[in-house]
Structure 1
Amino acid sequence: MNYVLEGTIKDTLNCLEENIFFIDQDLHISWMNNSSKNLLQVMKKYLNIGTPEDMIGQPIKSLHKNFLQEELMNYNEFPIDAQIVLFDRFVARLIVTELLVENQKRGYLLTWKDLTEREQERERTKEILNELATPILQTVAEHTLLVPLIGELTLERLETLTTKLLKECLNNGADYVILDFSGVTTITDSELGIEIQNLTDAIKLMGADVLYCGFPKEMVKDMVSLGVHTNQLSFVSFRNAIRYVVKEQEK
């Protein structure tokens, strides 16, 4: 027979802002406090329930496949502390402790810390930093864009840049795009060479010529080792590249 929480304990847990679930020894949800009900109210369409109370009696694995059930069945050391993603939308930190009454195991207390908003804010901050790290600038030459690449060059940054740059090429009717690598400090990913070439090819399909400039000696070696083989014009500095563009436009 499964243990039932005493009324005074329930009243105490209902006063807490933490989301707390009582899991019985059969690994079913036996009780939840009011904060947990508010949480499940937001998630009910993903859980296919009408009300939060519909989760009472449901196996704990209904929250996250078999993760929690396997952990509780096979883990001997408590508390269990894990961060998981549910339904590709909600981020949670789950802390599970054994519930002992008079030295007898009666089940488990699951504390659910909702990290969704924090993770979303972190992603927004990351997107803003990526935007700031990949500026696209107008130059003194007409229909010519400058892309100064700064810091560590990653696949994620290149993906962000590609989307943004193609849009700018279209909006500005760009004839030339200058990729300035002088500010890049690190390039290590083996797929970066391919992505740089893909970016170059995509810009050319938009009708713009691509110029490279500012490659440090070390980076030239890295680019070759990473598979960047291109016939694009390359210049020592941005100044030389923009001079070339101006001369071409004066013809």
Structure 2
Amino acid sequence: MAYQLEETIKDTLNCLEENIFFIDLDFRVGWMNEAGKKVIDSIKAYLKLERAEDLIGTPIGWFHKNPSYQEEMLQRGDFPIDMQLVLFNTFVTRLIVKKLVVRGQELGYLLTWKDITEREKEKEKTKALINELSTPVLQTIADHTLLVPLIGELTIERMETLTSKLLNECLSSQADYVIIDFSGVTHLQDTEAGHEIQKLTDSIQLMGAEVLYCGFPKEMVKNMVSLGVETNQLSFVSFRNAIRYVVSKLGDRINNDNQN
């Protein structure tokens, strides 16, 4: 027979604002405090329960796509256990599990359920904002010429964000030249991120703009060579040299147009 929590323990746990669940030695939900009932009531439609109390007796594996995973973690006994789950592709929960030992006897486990859905959403928004701010696309003194100053670590995610943003900018500004400045790059993550640079370049050129590189740090050049990333793009030591090249090309085009 599974252990039933003593009333004094229940009273103590009900005084806490945290959502606490008692898991018995058969790995079933044996009890929940009042705060726990409220959180279950808030998602009972997803759980297909009429009331929170209907959760009592449910195996904890019911919450996980791999039912035996949580039981195996408890059996390993590496406490406290701190895990994060996404429920119904909607709720993000942090579960902290500790052993319940009363008068030297192990009676089960206490699980604290923290809803961190909003916090995770804010983290994603912040991450997206950082990506946006760290991949600026700027106008230059030269007509129809864009500057992309890359800063920090180059990751696949950042390069994908930049590609989408830059293609839109090329279209709206009718760009003829795009200068990608690598002088602020601190690290190239891996080979795939390096290949994303070439994919970005190819995409821009398909839209009719010429891509110029400038400002490669020495360490990044070594890193690209060691990763086997190759590029045949025209490259300059600095942005100043790159923009001079663009201005001279635009000047030649204007002169040719006047002569014609």
Alignment TM-score > 0.5, same fold: yes
CA RMSD of aligned residues (A): 2.3
User: Which deviates more from structure 2 when the two are superposed, residues 229-238 or residues 23-32?
Assistant: 229-238
- Please name the residue that 1:84 is paired with: 84
Given the superposition, is the C-alpha separation of residues 55 and 206 from structure 1 closer, same or farther in structure 2, using an over 3 Å criterion? farther
Percent identity over the alignment?
63
Give runs of aligned pairs for residues 1-251 of structure 1, distance below 5 A. 1-64=1-64, 65-72=67-74, 74-77=75-78, 79-87=79-87, 88-250=89-251, 251=253
Given the superposition, is the C-alpha separation of residues 51 and 177 from structure 1 closer, same or farther in structure 2, using an over 3 Å criterion? farther
Code of the aligned partner of 1:59: P
Given the superposition, is the C-alpha separation of residues 60 and 170 from structure 1 closer, same or farther in structure 2, using an over 3 Å criterion? same
Quick check: 2:191–2:229 contact (8 Å CA) kept in 1?
Answer: no
Instruction: Return the alpha-carbon distance in structure 1 between the equivalents of residues 36 and 86 of structure 2.
Output: 15
SS at match of 1:191: helix
Structure 2 gap segments, 5+ residues each: 254-260
Instruction: Return the alpha-carbon distance in structure 2 between the equivalents of residues 154 and 84 of structure 1.
Output: 25
**Dislocated runs of 4+, deviation >6 Å:** none
User: Which deviates more from structure 2 when the two are superposed, residues 207-216 or residues 97-106?
Assistant: 97-106
Structure 1 gap segments, 5+ residues each: none
Instruction: Return the alpha-carbon distance in structure 2 between the equivalents of residues 189 and 25 of structure 1.
Output: 46
Could you give the per-residue CA deviations for residues 55-96 of structure 1, whole angstroms, max 9, x where no partner exists? 221101112233222222x2245x332222223544333222
SS at match of 2:101: strand
Instruction: Return the alpha-carbon distance in structure 1 between the equivalents of residues 206 and 50 of structure 2.
Output: 52
Could you give the per-residue CA deviations for residues 185-230 of structure 1, whole angstroms, max 9, x where no partner exists? 2225122221111111111222222111112333333223333323
Code of the aligned partner of 2:70: L
Instruction: Return the alpha-carbon distance in structure 1 between the equivalents of residues 8 and 220 of structure 2.
Output: 67
Given the superposition, is the C-alpha separation of residues 237 and 100 from structure 1 closer, same or farther in structure 2, using an over 3 Å criterion? closer
Aligned residue pairs, count: 249
Quick check: 1:22–1:29 contact (8 Å CA) kept in 2?
Answer: yes
Quick check: 2:215–2:237 contact (8 Å CA) kept in 1?
Answer: yes
Quick check: 1:146–1:178 contact (8 Å CA) kept in 2?
Answer: yes
Instruction: Return the alpha-carbon distance in structure 1 between the equivalents of residues 48 and 136 of structure 2.
Output: 44
Code of the aligned partner of 2:164: T
Quick check: 2:212–2:233 contact (8 Å CA) kept in 1?
Answer: yes
